Structure 1
Amino acid sequence: MTAVGIEDIGAYFGTAHVEVGELFQARGLEQARLANLLMRRKSVALPCEDIVTMAVNAARPVLDRLGAEGRATIETVVVATESGVDLAKSAAAFALAFLDLPKTCRVFEVKQACHGGAAAFQMAAASLAVSPRRGRALVIAGDAPIPVQGSYAEPSQGAGAIAVLLGEPRLARWHADRYGLWSFDNTDFRRPAVDVDVINVDLSIMSYIDCLIGSYKNYSEHTASDFGASFDALAMHTPFPGMVRGAHRTAARRLSGMDAAGIDLDFKKRVSASLEVPAEVGNIYSGCTLMALASSLRHHSTTTGHELGVYSYGGGCSSEFIGLTASADTERTPAAAQLDAALSARTKISVERYDAVLDVARRTLPGTPDADDCLRGVSDLVTTAAHTAGPLLMLGSIKDHHREYLWCDKDMS
């Protein structure tokens, strides 16, 4: 079996962000609940952005580093999302040409709520491990949800995408036998229409914790793993960092018998690094687990490498616990620098402008038949981001359901 792992990571977190504290104040939300989120900022999707643009913009830096010869070895492109722009054609098929990838690719889209990204990661890694061709796979996960304005969910609803290049294990090694599964049918989260989220918050929290315990126990049964001792770092699906803190507290107590002081120390030592990026971006649904994984590799770097436990959960519900081996000095890689750049490329906007952006964004939702000049009123944000990030793909217009995209750069008028 071929050695497979994470070769590189790219990220795109939009061109704008809003301060979560300012949003709380503007909405009149209880300030006492702000601290529980552990959020600082959240990314904002513009009317000219959808999962196709976000996927392409996340993957482009990775492919630029890979070069033309490397691109030719990519044999799978999969996009995991809840925000597909077409009910038949995958976002991966849209992205193929914009990323200048070969026609000798399998392209498809994956959906299983927030677990989609990790599920795609596992399937793509497994296919590479048994293939004799020694190819590569590009896994992209992300979403552009429509925030529920005025709700307590809104401050954590972000936007963005993570691109993971699977091939040589330069950042982390994947292991075919290190996984645990736990899934069952429930109704904690549904999206019956592109702009309708039906959430049972209490059920979602309980299911998240049940699946963490269940998937880890299944993992341990096959690996003789110890939750408290087998992993130097942990990365979990992060709807908001405060939820991860609560779930870790429960898991550490039930699975390892830690006391309160030990739990707090363990959280800071093994989990907090994975929350640095999510605290700046918010919930990107299908991409949340891979974003936490990328954050951990960026902010929990060791000189010798270490064992990394990854927990993914998706409403409905499905979950998996995955064991990876992180490489040494991951904070010094191009992937780490690009993760930082994706955050710094954004412009802070006021809550007033954020609300105006959301109002206009609804006219370019998937299923919209026609929309002109999708960059109107936000081109300054795109130009500023492109100055840092390089050319960015944006939605230009929609004509008879055909979405027309264009590349934008720092000199765009």
Structure 2
Amino acid sequence: MKIGIDKISFFVPKYYLTLEDLAVARQIDPMKYTRGLMQEKMAITPLNQDTISMAANAALNILTNEDIEKIDLVMFATETSVDHSKAAATNLISILGLKNQTRVIELKQACYAATAALNFAKGHILQNPDSKVLVVASDIARYGLKTDGEATQGAGSVAMIVSKDPKITVINQHAGFYSDDLYDFFRPSHMDYALVEGHYSNEMYKKFFNESYNDFLNKSNQTLDDLKAVTFHIPYVKIGLKTLSFLTNPDERLDLFENFKDATIYNKQIGNIYTGSLYLSLISLLEQGNLKDNEQIGLYSYGSGAIGEFFSMTTVEGYKHHLNKVHHEKMLNDRVNLSIDEYENIFNSIIKNDFIFDDEPHEEIILKQIKNYKRYYEKKNTWKCSFFILLWKRLKNLKNRVK
């Protein structure tokens, strides 16, 4: 049975900050960010967006009534959860109108959890061939103002539907792993921002790639020649490029470097989105690249703490017809460029309780209110309906007064 990604999409919030503007404000040479990190912009979440609303918006791009009828498992991968107990996947039941006869779970292992979710989804489909699984990865990467990691922030979500006979990619059998107990990047539960050993974390990223990649080759009896592209977890683009250079060079495999460039177009525009980063890169490759049908892609997933996994997917015949390229490009182009002051005001305005957003939503789904620490979400069409009902009531009251 062939199992893999039947649909895939991403969501990014409406605001962004250019890294050139950030560099100027921090009195840093912009080349340190645009060339040193190979990043251009970072997505900024407004107050009415969180990891749950972003995940719901990404899922809305691909969900149909037929999908909802067949989905009986939802896995929500995040390392920026809004609740230590209640799984974010439970919120999606009401927001997306999913069946109550659905298993829901939240997964955490730094930036790796979405890859674990894909593996679990594949096993679920093997046991339940006629069902579908919704996998979402949603995060907000924040390191604090004027910190070393500030330029590698970002926000966004990726949604995938996993099923048999997929329309986009088949998840192949073999995977290589490597895990160890270390503290390269971590965030104790009482802290708002992660603690990062930057140089050490970069070295572990590369080490775990080598270990998991070699494990993959041993298990699959394949070589680099079998792969037409290699995608990476992208905290920033430059580290992926450096890691690819360990495998080969442009003189030997120019196609891998050209495909890497295509695979990081979206990442450059959005920044680090943690659990969704690898799959944002996959979307970029599929939509912006020139891969043919039935070609194999290598994927490297890394989660600090730490685990690395290297596995592969194969494109399905006609996969290009099932992508959301036009929607994604429009979403990126329609964003608003913030000034430094606007960015810092949003960054410093984190509200944890007793909050209501009264303006018209720009996105399909927003965080409408936090009351008694409970989160309430609203759909755009619901807002419009409520607005017209309110207007009708006011006009009716005015008419009665005139009488």
TM-score where L is the length of structure 2: 0.89
Report whether the alignment pairs 1:12 with 2:11.
yes
- Specify the alignment match of 1:271 in structure 2: 260
Map 1:149-164 onto structure 2 (within 5 A): 149-164=145-160
Answering whether residue 135 of structure 2 is matched by residue 139 of structure 1, we say yes
Q: Does 1:124 align with 2:121?
A: yes
Give the 3 Å change call, closer, same or farther, for CA 232–349 of structure 1 in structure 2: same
Q: Is the 8 A contact 1:245 1:267 kept in 2?
A: no
2:212 match: 215
Cα distance in 2 between the residues matched to 1:92 and 1:150: 33
CA distance in 1, matches of 2:217, 2:127: 28
- Aligned counterpart, 2:304: 315
What SS class does the counterpart of residue 97 from structure 2 fall into?
Answer: coil
Write the deviation string for residues 224-280 of structure 1: whole angstroms up to 9, x where unpaired: 1112x1110111100010111111112x1xxxxx457446x3553332121111011
Q: Is the 8 A contact 1:313 1:320 kept in 2?
A: yes
> Contact 1:236/1:289 (CA < 8 Å) preserved in 2?
yes
Give, in whole Å, the separation in 2 of the partners of 1:188 and 1:43. Answer: 24
> What residue is the counterpart of 1:165 in the other structure?
161
2:355 aligns with 372
- Identity across matched positions, percent: 24
* 1:348-377 CA-partner distances (Å, limit 9, x unpaired): 2222211111111x22xxxx3x2322x36x
* Number of the residue aligned with 1:389: none
Structure 1 residues 132, 77: closer, same or farther in 2, change over 3 A? closer
1:170-228 CA-partner distances (Å, limit 9, x unpaired): 110112x221111111100011145121000111111100111101111111111112x
CA separation in 1, counterparts of 2:323 and 2:234? 24
Does structure 1 conserve the Cα–Cα contact (< 8 Å) formed by 2:143 and 2:194? no
AA of the residue aligned to 1:350: S
Q: Hey, what's the Cα distance between the residues in 2 that align with 1:3 and 1:334?
A: 19
In the alignment, residue 238 of structure 1 is paired with which amino acid?
I
SS where residue 355 of structure 2 aligns? coil
Partner Cα separation in structure 1 for residue 274 and residue 83 of structure 2: 18
1:304 is aligned to 293
Shift of 1:70: 2.7
Partner of 2:234: 238
- In the other structure, the counterpart of 1:255 is none
Structure 2 matches for 1:241-256, cutoff 5 A?
Answer: 241-250=237-246, 252=247
1:318 and 1:204 map into 2 onto residues whose CA distance is 12
Residue 90 of structure 2 aligns to a residue whose secondary structure is helix
Moved more, 217-226 or 27-36: 27-36
- Name the counterpart of 2:399: none
Counterpart of 1:42, as a letter, is M
Matches within 5 A, 1:48-197: 48-63=48-63, 66=64, 68-128=65-125, 130-167=126-163, 168-175=165-172, 177-192=173-188, 193=190, 195-197=192-194
Any unmatched runs of 5+ in structure 1? 253-257, 387-391
Question: 1: CA distance between counterparts of 2:133 and 2:343?
Answer: 36
What secondary structure is seen at the aligned counterpart in 1 of 2:347? helix
One-letter amino acid of the counterpart of residue 236, structure 2: F
Deviation digits for residues 275-319 of structure 1 (CA, Å, limit 9, x no counterpart): 111011100011111111111111223343311101100100011
TM-score (norm 1): 0.87
- The number of residue pairs the alignment matches comes to 382
Counterpart of 1:405, as a letter, is Y
d(CA) in 2 for partners of 1:343, 1:137: 27
Contact 2:185–2:304 under 8 Å retained in 1: yes
Amino acid at match of 1:343: L
Quick one: structure 1 residues 408 and 27, their matched pair in 2 at CA, closer, same or farther if it must change by over 3 Å? farther
Name the SS of the counterpart of 1:403 in structure 2: strand
Q: Distance in 1 between matches of 2:215 and 2:291?
A: 28
Deviates more, 1:332-341 or 1:280-289: 332-341
> Does 1:290 pair with 2:279?
yes
- Does the aligned pair in 1 maintain the 2:228–2:256 contact within 8 Å? no
Contact 1:299 1:331 in 2 (8 A): no
2:250–2:257 Cα contact (<8 Å) kept: no
Larger Rg: 2
Shift of 1:73: 0.3
Secondary structure class of the residue paired with 1:25: helix
Q: Are 2:335 and 1:346 aligned? A: yes
Report the Cα distance in structure 2 between the residues aligned to 1:194 and 1:75, rounded to whole angstroms: 35
SS of corresponding position for 2:213: helix
How far the C-alpha of 1:151 sits from its partner, in A, is 2.3
